[in-house]
Amino acid sequence: MIIKTHKDIPASEITDPLVFKQRRQIIKVMMGSLVAGVSSSALAETKTEWNHAPKANTTAAPLITTSSEIVNNHTNYYEFTFNKTDATQLAQSLPTDPWSVEISGEVEKPAVYHLEDMLSQQSLQEYIYRFRCVEAWSMVVPWIGFPLANLLKMAKPLSSAQFVQFTSIYDPKTMPNQRDNAMLEWPYVEGLRIDEAMHPLTILATGMYGESMPKQNGAPLRLVVPWKYGFKSIKAIAKIELVKRPPTTTWNKFAPNDYGFYSNVNPEVPHPRWSQNSERQLGSGFFTPRRKTELFNGYGSQVASLYSDMDLRHFF
């Protein structure tokens, strides 16, 4: 089922409506961050959803973002390549406009949304998050997006919806490893428990550094779950399904002893082949000491309660 919004879109917008709409919204985003940086008393004057924004940016010392030059050219995008530099070029051939996202499964209102229609119902905001790859490098990224919970609520999850399964685009014509490499199963699949998916820190991102999402970083829509290892933050999402059972995810299926379903950042639980105790910060100098990795990537005050009754070594 295609849901269309009934409104006249000027021809000027049709050429690249997604970027156009985002530009307008990003102005709002910038205002939001500015206000938060100055004081909280001005909040009432903005129409952003800043009040509901996660506290991550304001509790700890301000995060110094990694340069966009680095983040946009050091990527993991295995559908295109297994090295970290070539997706910058290879991913440019992925068609991302128009784009639709299916929401289905254990919901009252399944739908296939045109991305623009989905975004027109969200107020975008900037989220400056630490991002920690399971390979023990890290960065700090100013994402632009909205809480995944907002979208899930629109679909009205049934009580049987216990997990959320995300599926990336399958496009073997433009994604070479979907044709040639059978090591991983395609399309890329990830998953969250429903409470993780509904958590206000969990966002769907459509941009970064004040701009639309570069293709190599997962345009036009990707997940960002800042307290989990980077591979959970799936790129180029085509389908979101609410399901009863834990989804079989790409990395967990490939190497279940190396990559657990939860994959919460945890310095105490090493990868079988390396420690997770510390991390190399992208863009830091050669002599800069490694950063000590924090439990839940530093977001423990907000997410630890999700796992209070769990043995994190067992459910890694």
Ligand X SMILES: Nc1nc2c(c(=O)[nH]1)N[C@H]1C(S)=C(S)[C@@H](COP(=O)(O)O)O[C@H]1N2
Contacts with Mo ion, residue ranges (CB under 5 A): 76, 133, 230-231
What's the rounded Cα separation, in Å, for the pair 279 and 138? 6
Rounded least distance, CB 307 to Mo ion, Å: 21
Q: How far is the CB of 51 from ligand X (least distance, A)?
A: 28
Query: Should residue 233 be labelled a site residue for ligand X when binding is judged by CB under 6 A?
Result: yes
Q: Does 79 bind ligand X (CB under 6 A)?
A: yes
Residue 304 tokens, joined? 């630890």
Residues 6+ apart with CB under 8 A from 13: 20, 21
**CB under 6 A: which stretch of 152-160, 225-233, 292-300, 305-313 binds ligand X?**
225-233
d(CA 80, CA 181): 10
Residue 206 touches ligand X, criterion: CB under 6 A: no
Spatial CB neighbours of 49, under 8 Å, sequence gap ≥ 6: 123, 125
* C-alpha triplet 130, 134, 135: angle, nearest 5°: 105
**Shortest distance in whole angstroms from residue 168 CB to ligand X:** 4
Contacted entry of Mo ion, ligand X, none for residue 66, CB cut-off 5 to 8 Å set by kind = none
DSSP, res 107: B
* Binding at 56: pick from Mo ion, ligand X, none (beta carbon under 5-8 Å per type): none
Is 78 a binding residue for ligand X by CB under 6 A? The answer is yes
> What CA–CA distance (Å, rounded) separates 184 from 216?
19
Instruction: Write down the least CB distance from residue 12 to ligand X, Å.
Output: 30
Rounded Cα distance, 308 and 297, in Å: 16
29 vs 221, beta carbon nearer ligand X: 221
Residues of this chain, 158-197, that bind ligand X according to CB under 6 A: 168, 188
The verdict on 265 binding ligand X (CB under 6 A) reads: no
Q: Does the footprint of ligand X cover residue 127 (CB under 6 A)?
A: no
How far is C-alpha 96 from the geometric centre of its chain's CA atoms?
Answer: 17
Binding site for ligand X (CB under 6 A): 75-79, 133, 168, 188, 217-218, 230-231, 233-236
